[in-house]
Chain A
Amino acid sequence: MAHVAAATPAAARWTGRIAFTRGLRRLGTVALVLAALWGFWEGYKWLWQTTGWTWPFLVDDTTMPHIHDILDTFGQPATTGGPALIHPLLDAAWFTAKEALAGFALGAVIGFALAVLLVHSRLLERGLLPYIVASQTVPILAVAPMVVVGLGSKGVEGWKAVAILAAYLTFFPVAINALRGLQSADPRAFELMESYASSRWSILWRLRVPASLPYLFTALKISATASVIGAIIGETPASIQEGLGGAIVNFNQYYSLQPTFLWATNIVCAVLGLLLFGLVALTERLVLRRAPEHFA
């Protein structure tokens, strides 16, 4: 018995080591991919510049600045005597993240509520779904100024109006996927619930919603990144300066002089989107308890 007791902590240490190695390997893969991208960018730039090729576009330090120059920009002041670029960019990122998160949450709640409503009424599904789809064909660039100006005249702060625009982009994938997910359980599982004479409410919470979660999380991953895009796009026509959208418009104007500023801003936008995506993926891992085939 003593032998067995001694083996247990050793086994725990062993599984710990496996997890550690696995994590390390994953990190290595990420580093490798980043290095490959770096190599591709710099290699492309070098090849086009030495050969003088101009197709499909002219390659120079303005169109494709060196990666190390872009990274270097984070440490340089954006305005003479001002703080390093990274500080205003992080402020802008926080501002946009606030809009995106609020929009994401709002859109997810509205999308899910719509799906629950539609799944219980064939009539509503037939009547409302075309308009829900149509809502997504209206360009957000056209809607943005109307929403921001319209809500602004009612005294709503700019960032809240932008959050509503982000919600406008995020509710759609959630509604469509959740609707599908709420209908995804085996017909026999519905018969089983019927055999217990369960209420619609019971069927919703004990069967439809748990069955919909893999679909829902897929939608939330799409929406997480879409909400960042929605926030950035919402800021631009509304002339909101404090966020990443404002920074993009601003640095766009100085592109020929300081191309690295815009590229640095793009990197921050991408990281923000990745962070939100990662947050959803992490939640999925913690929440979802399904058979392995349900994990994407």
Chain B
Amino acid sequence: MTAAENARVVSIQGLTKSFRTGVTALQDIDLDIAPGEFVSLIGPSGCGKSTLLRIIGDLIRPSSGTVLVNGKPAHRARLDHDYGIVFQDAVLYDWRTVTRNVSLPLELLGWDRARRKQRVQEMLELVELTGFESSRPWQLSGGMQQRVSIARALSFDPALLLMDEPFGALDEMTRERMNMELLRIWEKAGSTIVFVTHSIPEAVFLSTRVVVMSARPGRIAETINVDLPQPRGAATREEPRFFELVTAVREALAGGHGEKRSAAAEELY
């Protein structure tokens, strides 16, 4: 194994996934992700982007191909707690307080009480939820719940953060605010993020790289580097380059260069 491969957080080669029903969800996926990258997976429904995310997390096994996380097989990486995951719903345990939700992975890792308490405090500061330690999940708004979920995923300091449409259930205004929050957290925590989304502007705004996928079977259609300057803010969304990149992603989704827009791309925009 070369030093370059070692340095990659995610390294996927020749990945194919077929389900027992005969459907090929993913075909010939090659993808390398370097430390500190923010990579979005975008594509129409059924392109397998969530499946790909779960394969990286070893929650689904691939049919063929290799998946390395931190230079190890994905299964080993899961056992080593190399990644944290955030779903579309916050998936908080409503019988636990905010504090105890964030400390759930720490309990499973066997951290002692004092260390857990200190880390939870740090995490709640990071996601700006101090003062809500003993609240119950159902007492929080959707955006706040998702911030708890992010704090939980980052609490044990994993190298990789997997996010499956984390803001898909939020309203547009909360979503834009959460995008800013996430960039701030990403800069501060210094983790690598793989982010599944349906939203083109969200993907462009957040990412260093957008991976555009096509459906049936799911393949990588195009990879677009997002060269917008860091740190990004509200003004980023008004820059001409932002619109150029949004257009580039949209055209990549349409499967051509502007001449035809597929039904799948219509659905997205």
Contact = CB atoms under 8 A, between A and B. Distances in A.
Interface of A: 186, 188-189, 191-192, 194-198, 202, 206-207, 210-211, 213, 288-292, 294
B168 to A, nearest CB: 13
A182 to B, nearest CB: 14
Contacts of B93: 189, 206-207, 210
B132 interface: no
Contacts of A207: 93
Nearest to B106: A196
With most chain A CB atoms within 10 A of its CB, the pick from B78, B91, B105, B138 is B91
B91 A192 contact: yes
B104 A195 contact: no
A197 B104 CA distance: 13
A196 B54 CA distance: 13
B95 A289 contact: yes
B136 interface: yes
Contacts of B89: 186, 188
Contact of B85 (A186, A192, A202, A210): A192
B87 A191 contact: yes
A291 B91 contact: no
B255 interface: no
A210 B95 contact: yes
Contacts of B122: none
B7 interface: no
A43 to B, nearest CB: 46
29 contacts: A186-B91, A188-B87, A188-B89, A188-B91, A189-B91, A191-B59, A191-B85, A192-B85, A192-B87, A195-B57, A195-B59, A195-B84, A195-B85, A196-B81, A196-B104, A196-B105, A196-B109, A197-B79, A197-B81, A198-B108, A206-B104, A206-B108, A207-B93, A210-B93, A211-B95, A213-B95, A288-B95, A289-B94, A291-B138
Given A189-B93, A290-B94, A291-B137, A194 B79 contact: no
Contacts of A188: 87, 89, 91
B191 to A, nearest CB: 15
A188 B162 CA distance: 14
Contacts of B78: 194-195, 197
Interface string B92-127: 011100000000110111000000000000000000
B95 A290 contact: yes
B83 interface: yes
A21 B141 CA distance: 32
Contacts of B137: 291
Given A197-B79, A202-B108, A292 B59 contact: no
Nearest to A213: B95
Interface string B71-83: 0000000110101
Nearest to B60: A191
With most chain B CB atoms within 10 A of its CB, the pick from A196, A211, A291 is A196
Contacts of B85: 191-192, 195
B118 to A, nearest CB: 20
Given A189-B91, A192-B87, A291 B59 contact: no
Contacts of B105: 196
Given A188-B87, A202-B108, 20 more contacts: A188-B91, A189-B93, A191-B54, A191-B59, A192-B87, A194-B78, A196-B104, A196-B108, A196-B109, A197-B78, A197-B79, A197-B81, A206-B104, A206-B108, A213-B95, A288-B95, A289-B94, A290-B95, A291-B138, A292-B138
A194 B59 contact: yes
A153 B79 CA distance: 56
Nearest to B89: A188
Nearest to A214: B95
B59 to A, nearest CB: 5
Contacts of B57: 195
A32 to B, nearest CB: 33
Contacts of B95: 210-211, 213, 288-290
A191 B79 CA distance: 14
Interface string B57-69: 1010000000000
A210 B137 CA distance: 15
A201 to B, nearest CB: 11
Nearest to A210: B95
A211 B91 CA distance: 13
Nearest to A185: B93
Nearest to A202: B108
Contacts of A198: 108
A47 B114 CA distance: 73
Top 8 A-B pairs ranked by shortest CB distance? Answer: A291-B138, A291-B94, A210-B95, A188-B91, A195-B85, A197-B79, A188-B87, A289-B95
Nearest to B164: A188
A216 B137 CA distance: 22
